[in-house]
A and B are shown apart, each in its own frame.
Chain A
Amino acid sequence: MDRRTVIKGGLAMAGVLAAPAYLRAQSNKKISMLTWNIADQEAYFKELFADFTKDNPGVEIEWLDKKGPELPAFYQTQLVAGTAPDIIDLQGMIWVEWAANGALLDMSPMLEKEPAVAKLYNPDYLSGFVYDKKQFAIPFYVAKTLLYYNKTMFKEAGLSGPPKSFDEIINFSQAMAKGEKTGFLTLNFDWLYWPLMRMNGVELLKPDMRTPAFNTPETAAVLDKLAKATASGGINKIAWTGRWVEPNGAFASGNVGMLQAHSASYFFVKGQGPWVNPDTLGATQAPGNWSTPTNHAFVISKSSKNPEVAWALIKHMTGNKWATKFALSRRILTGNVEADNTVLAKMKTEDPLAHAVLQTQIEHTDKMTGNWPLPNDAQVKDAFWPEIQNAVLGRKDSKTALADAERAVTRVMRRS
């Protein structure tokens, strides 16, 4: 065998070996999806992916799940490595920063091409994912704050029903504070306390979305009232220091009159509070019907090699069939109107209290606050919140705290 024959044979062999890989690459479309702390949903996603690939042969889906605090860090490393997941489930307003910096795909053209898809979702929840007039995310599951109240404590304090104004929240809190018992708690992460401000007409920023608008005598008065009620035990201090377990746990103990939190808290409180039943727990809108959403939504990475497959998978996951399955299995709302109506109808008979809680999530969705599309939301939050803590916990007088907060927020805005 001469040298030429050997080379020819080698090339032919290499061609034979390489061809299937090339053909595979042509026919297979691989996409990756990153979700936020729902590793327990493996069976659901397996079934969902099988259903999707049945209609979309040749698509391979890689599913990753990360815990809340790990997800942004994981995404950032993947982004730097040039291997950002195609689809990402994001919570809160973190998507705005990514969208503003060009990391996410604008889904508006896709929605314009398929107007029926947009009609699947609650318009207020869907519009919560618009930045710079572009749709960057599609709701996956949704929640917003409401006011839970302990009917037994209300009765003991001689209170006939939930508060109708901010001043009533404060007065009712004081009325219920006695020994171990306190009157009010709020979750505070992701601006969940903001309805307390908004119901008093306080705005965070001016319409230009750059200039602080909160340093006013009205805000100082609100902080003074909150600080006074906190010092006297009307408001539980955990409202300003706890994150999730502590405030929900405190309310579940049955010693707190009211809790401002989103619908997910209900299942935590019910799990920990043996006293919870429709006769003892009430669920209603906060005064003025103000609420702060904390939603999960799917985004597509701009670097995705298969954006059309990613879009098809998002439609599949948030469409009527799979959104309903998800809502029913987790007893949550999804932002998909049909799915949410189905789960609400089921809850009405099965668990009237859960129904009352979930019902608040689709009401007054036009009065959601604390969900400003700020590219530097995390930085603004981090500049603002410690000063509010200083004021309500009595470390600084409200005017000084607000002036310091204004300086810190202005600095963040200037830097941005």
Chain B
Amino acid sequence: MVTATVEAGRRHRSSFIARKTTRQAVLIWCFLAPSLLIFLLYRILPLAWNVILSFQAWSPLRPAVWIGFDNYDEMLTDEVFWQSLWNTLYIIGSAPIGIAIALALALLVNADIRGRDVYRTAIFLSYPLMTVAVAIIWRWMFDERVGLINYVARSLHLVDSPIQFLNSFTWALPSVIAANIWQMLGFYMIILLTGLQNIPGNLYEAAEIDGANAFRRFLRITLPLLKPSIFLCFVIGMLNSVTSFDLVYVMTGGGPGRATEILVTYIYKLGFVQTRFDYAAAVTVVFFIMLITIAWAANRFSGGNAGAVERD
């Protein structure tokens, strides 16, 4: 009798817990639903439609026809695609240069110098600027007639005639990269500065007592402890580089020739200039796979838990 009562009580309790869990789950789903719906509507569905489109011949002016892998086949022999891919990889590859400069600046403004807050603000200012504004500023900086860089170079007799930075096959891509690095510098610096300030001072004191010089302290303490901040800068820098459409579009439009064409500008031109949305979709799919691969590789390098929420 007692056993039966205990059993009934246990059943009642477990069904109560189950009901409570279900209620909680429903509540959680209710709270999540609007965000998930928006995510589904504006991210997943367009992405799925984009994948389908990449297997079709379609434009707003023509009905869709299934063509299988034709768009992907075309990509293999499309020189512009490969050139854009290379240029994109070059820009991605420039992220470490920016991080290295930002690290040097962060070390400087972390030192006990007068007016360091002013320097920090001045360096950070480039980041909140609109990319289009940055592109316009740098376009004029590089201008051969009224540009500051040519003016300084000629005043110092470094060059005889102005360098046509954005009109030159040699200089155009490095010029765009320089502008991109400049814009991201403030962001990198703030992240690295935060990382530097989180390194306990007693580590440096102990190392100094042990006779480690400044370079060794930097190599053995600063760099290893800054690894998460550097990693964060690297991932964000890479993603920013591959999507720097507005910078390239305003500064050079992808030219001269295809010298600064990157995948995003090429995708835009295919879709909205050439009305080739189908082929643009195929290039987008490849671009998406490339981004996913980069993010996955970066996550692996960071130990496999990038973005994980730490629990107390």
Contacts and interface: CB of A to CB of B under 8 A. Distances in A.
A393 B166 CA distance: 13
Nearest to B83: A386
B253 A378 contact: no
A76 B272 contact: yes
Contact of A79 (B61, B269, B273): B61
Chain A, interface SS category: helix
B164 interface: yes
A405 B278 CA distance: 23
B275 interface: yes
Given A389-B255, A390-B257, A72 B269 contact: no
A393 B62 contact: no
A73 B272 contact: yes
Contact of B167 (A101, A102, A242, A415): A242
B61 A97 contact: yes
A241 B256 contact: yes
A77 B145 CA distance: 40
A378 B273 contact: yes
A249 B59 CA distance: 37
A393 B274 CA distance: 25
Q: Among B79, B80, B256, B257, find the residue whose CB has the most chain A CB atoms closer than 10 A.
A: B257
B164 A80 contact: no
Q: How large is the interface on A (under 10, 10 to 19, 20 to 34, 35 or more residues)?
A: 20 to 34
Interface in A63-98: 69, 72-73, 76-77, 79-80, 97-98
Contacts of B255: 241, 386, 389
Interface residues of B, number: 24
A243 interface: yes
A379 B61 contact: no
A415 B255 CA distance: 25
Contacts of B80: 386
Contact of B275 (A102, A378, A386): A378
A379 B274 contact: yes
Contacts of A253: 145
B60 interface: yes
Contacts of A243: 253
A79 B60 CA distance: 7
Chain B, interface SS category: loop
Contacts of A79: 60-61
Nearest to B78: A411
Contact of A98 (B61, B79, B256, B272): B61
A329 B74 CA distance: 49
Given A389-B257, A395-B169, A102 B61 contact: yes
Given A241-B166, A242-B167, A386-B258, A101 B62 contact: yes
A59 interface: no
Interface in B250-271: 253, 255-258, 269
A378 B274 contact: yes
Contacts of A308: none
Interface string B267-291: 0010011111000000000000000
Interface in B80-117: 80
Interface string B152-175: 000000000000101111000000
Given A378-B274, A393-B256, A241 B61 contact: no
A103 B61 contact: yes
Interface string B114-147: 0000000000000000000000000000000100
A262 interface: no
8 contacts: A72-B272, A243-B253, A253-B145, A378-B273, A378-B275, A379-B276, A386-B80, A408-B79
Interface of B: 59-62, 74, 79-80, 145, 164, 166-169, 253, 255-258, 269, 272-276
3 closest A-B pairs by beta carbon, nearest first, are A101-B61, A241-B167, A76-B60
